[in-house]
Amino acid sequence: MFEIGEYIVYGNTGVCKVEEVKKMPVPGTKNERLYYTLEPVYDKGCRLFTPVDNQKVKMRPVLTIKEADELIGRIKEIDTLWIKDEKSREQMYKDAIRTCNCEELVKIIKTLYLRKKARLAAGKKVTSSDAKYLHLAEESLYGELSLVMGIPKKEMEAFIYSKVKE
């Protein structure tokens, strides 16, 4: 169970702070259930309520600074996700994002960055699907790394790129 004040990753919402843990009534019953009150770090003014034992949405602690450094150090070695079939590729992106796994997010970002570069070089536009999943993966990964490493989110892409080029 997460503690009040702890930062966690909550599904596609991204990094959230646990504001409260309390029993709340279960709608449509006389029962109560233990809930987290979460405040998304990058969506101020928003509050989420989710059961502590929620099995539908992935919840995990944010990376430690050591884990973040190790991940950035391994970016060059992390494989891309090359699938020719458009529908299969999009499903793979959805599945990877749903895992909330930082390595999977890096795979998506690397794949879509290379795909974007190749399409633009060929005089083609980036597909809306690619743009959507690139944005989702970047928001999630950069948001978590920003919090952990104390670097503004808008500077995270340049920071990672500088580390990868070393």
pLDDT digits (tens, 9 = 90+) for 115-124: 899 999 999 9
122 lies in which domain range?
65-165
Distance CA 148, CA 142 (A): 10
Domain check: are 42 and 74 in the same one? no
- Does residue 1 form part of some domain? no
pLDDT digits (tens, 9 = 90+) for 144-162: 999 999 999 999 989 888 8
Domain check: are 96 and 145 in the same one? yes
Query: How many domains are contained in the chain?
Result: 2
In sequence order, what are the residues at sequence separation of 6 or more whose Cβ sits closer than 8 angstroms to the Cβ of residue 136? 12, 97
Q: What is the pLDDT of residue 82?
A: 78
Domain check: are 38 and 83 in the same one? no
Distance CA 95, CA 91 (A): 6
pLDDT digits (tens, 9 = 90+) for 49-90: 999 999 999 999 999 999 999 999 999 899 888 777 878 888
DSSP 3-state assignment of 2? coil
Cα angle 121, 124, 130 (rounded to 5 degrees) comes to 100
Nearest CA among 54, 49, 52 for reference residue 3: 52
Q: What is the pTM of this model?
A: 0.87
